[in-house]
A and B are shown apart, each in its own frame.
Chain A
Amino acid sequence: MSDDIVVDHLTKQYKKLRAVDDLSFSVRSSRVTGFLGPNGAGKTTTLRMLLGLVTPTAGNATIGGQKYTELPDPIRHVGAVLEASSAHRGRTGRNHLRMICRAAGLPDSRADEVLALVGLTPAANRKFKGFSLGMKQRLGIAAAMLGDPRVLILDEPANGLDPEGIHWMRDLLKAFAAEGRTVLVSSHLLGEMQLLADDVVIVAAGKLIRQGPVDEVLGSMGAAQVKVRTPQPAELTTALASLDGVTVAPQADGSLLISGTGAAAVGHAAFTASVELHELASERGDLEQVFLQLTAGMAGIR
């Protein structure tokens, strides 16, 4: 059985709001896929439809070819972390996990195993109300791991984690994907996704904006830029003006940011025009800028 996630023409219409609008994308196994979009883009609604918690107005979503609600013992196939604060305040972390074990027919001992996995063993007998936000996220991940699933779906898991926690989660998810499993992570933290994700799915206002491997999405946007520092900026700008599709943007610190061509072409133009260079550097495209470009005007309150 494949573990791919397929979202097919999914739509959710609330009374006045089309939260998700004819959205289609797919998520492959053995890779970490980032599900990106500004707040209110419909990410959470999409994930909840994928997991059978919200009924779609149209379209459908499958995991390994089956709807979530039709999977026998779904948490043995799919682990999900949807909201960090979803446990009874007066119940201990261990009992929260045992409760899930009982309902899913897993042995109680799994609760202690996943607590150790996420480093929460010392807090096992503490009540949930005494958990920090980061501990709540870890408990959520522990709950998702109980059934040793092939597919992991996480909604904004980095929220509330400190830098060490984010690093820990990144390693965990990458290791998970490396074992051939499927990982889908939603986020609005783009820098994090650039470090974590292999593929990205970008949505805004409920619609698909772009999907593909991170590098491809960055490249397709012409996001690569060249940074140049020279005592003769006017001469270099003139020399570059002869090249097609090249734009030169003077920066506040005196450098020039050149987009539309590579470092080699810029160096060659400078050489032939006898322009002295003090710095010449390719800047890798920044997902955040691409994202802001792609979703410009679509974010915000709908």
Chain B
Amino acid sequence: MRLVNAELFKLRSTSLWWIMGIVLLPLYAASVLANWAQYANTNAGDVSDPDQAEAVRAALEPINVATSMYTSGQYFGILILLLLAAIIVTSEFFHLTATTTFLVTPRRESVILAKFGAAVLVGVLLWLLTTVLNLIFVPPIMSNLDLGSQLGEPAVWRAIGLNLLAFVLWAVLGVGLGVLIRSQLAATLLLGIVYVVGTPAVGLIFFLLTRYVADWFDKLQVLFPPNASQLMISGTDLPGNPPRWVGAVVLIGYAVITGVIGTLITKRRDIS
């Protein structure tokens, strides 16, 4: 526990955390507004393809609008969390503090575990922040959409809970990827770009594969982590999508794999 405390202290004693916070707030506001605009302007009647119309109709059900609105900020919140979690590891090598850290605690697995712990706590904090903001700002938006607050629906609370799980899993994933990539510049650029550009790029690749190779490729989209966490928080099972638990399993899988490999690598690596 004292190692987790030390890791959190490391994070608090540099300016990184508030810079990330300043970056997050406008991004959060933008995603709430974008969600609002999207639901205010979409109409199932406008879509000609019957399959897609069905999917849009499902997405526009009050409960699905609610789960989406009440988890606003997940996309950017997790982006920030992913970068923070990776930097918790890479900054030790970037600033050559790994030597000091491992001199104080030669059992390196304890250090990595503490970093997982600290990143998870940061994830919980970010979840708490976005959730509190959502509970303040979303109800008026919901009434503006004539849908009611929907806060009585268990599905909304389940989505908020699963959103927490997504934050926790992404925190673990970020630390694991930070160990694997190690170079601070490479890690932040790579993770940032893959996360942001990756979703449409992967969507396009899977679209082409589905169209020209085989239909079942469409089901594999969930293997891309951001898609998995999006799926996990949907309110009801949406037509044409795998069930929610698949998203959770995929994320847990990635988190465990990167976590274990990252820990093993750190244990063996020479620190010089």
**A residues with CB within 8 A of B:** 44-45, 48, 51-55, 68-69, 71, 74-75, 80, 82-83, 85-92, 95, 98-100, 102-105, 143
Sample 19 A-B pairs with CB under 8 A, ordered by A number.
A53-B271, A69-B106, A69-B107, A82-B99, A83-B96, A88-B10, A88-B13, A88-B97, A90-B14, A90-B15, A91-B10, A91-B13, A91-B14, A98-B9, A99-B6, A99-B9, A99-B10, A102-B5, A103-B105
Q: A53-B102, A74-B103, A80-B103 are in contact. Are A86 and B96 (CB under 8 A)?
A: yes
Across the interface, which residues of A come within 8 angstroms of B144, CB to CB?
none
* Chain B residue, CB-CB nearest to A105: B2
Across the interface, which residues of A come within 8 angstroms of B266, CB to CB?
none
Say yes or no for B199: interface residue by CB 8 A criterion: no
Cα(A88)–Cα(B268), bound, Å: 24
**A102 touches which of B9, B14, B106, B270 (Cβ 8 Å):** B9
Determine whether the beta carbon of A53 is less than 8 Å from that of B103: yes
Q: A82-B99, A99-B13 are in contact. Are A53 and B268 (CB under 8 A)?
A: no
**Cβ-closest 10 pairs across A and B:** A103-B6, A102-B6, A95-B13, A69-B106, A53-B271, A86-B96, A54-B270, A90-B14, A88-B95, A103-B104
**A87 touches which of B2, B95, B105, B268 (Cβ 8 Å):** B95
Q: A88-B95, A99-B10 are in contact. List 17 more A-B contacts (CB 8 A).
A: A48-B271, A53-B102, A53-B270, A53-B272, A75-B103, A83-B96, A86-B100, A87-B95, A88-B14, A89-B95, A92-B13, A95-B13, A98-B9, A98-B13, A100-B104, A104-B105, A143-B100
CB distance from A48 to the nearest CB of B (A): 6
Across the interface, which residues of A come within 8 angstroms of B99, CB to CB?
53, 82-83, 86
* Chain B residue, CB-CB nearest to A51: B103
**A86 touches which of B15, B97, B104, B270 (Cβ 8 Å):** B97
Say yes or no for B35: interface residue by CB 8 A criterion: no
Determine whether the beta carbon of B272 is less than 8 Å from that of A54: yes
Across the interface, which residues of A come within 8 angstroms of B210, CB to CB?
none
* Chain A residue, CB-CB nearest to B100: A86
Interface residues of B in 240-259 (CB under 8 A from A): none
Across the interface, which residues of B come within 8 angstroms of A98, CB to CB?
9, 13
Interface residues of B in 1-60 (CB under 8 A from A): 2-3, 5-6, 9-10, 13-16
Determine whether the beta carbon of B100 is less than 8 Å from that of A74: no
Say yes or no for B101: interface residue by CB 8 A criterion: yes
Determine whether the beta carbon of B13 is less than 8 Å from that of A55: no
Interface residues of B in 80-116 (CB under 8 A from A): 91, 95-97, 99-107
* Chain B residue, CB-CB nearest to A90: B14
* Chain B residue, CB-CB nearest to A75: B104
Across the interface, which residues of A come within 8 angstroms of B91, CB to CB?
88
Cα(A80)–Cα(B100), bound, Å: 9
Across the interface, which residues of A come within 8 angstroms of B10, CB to CB?
88, 91, 99
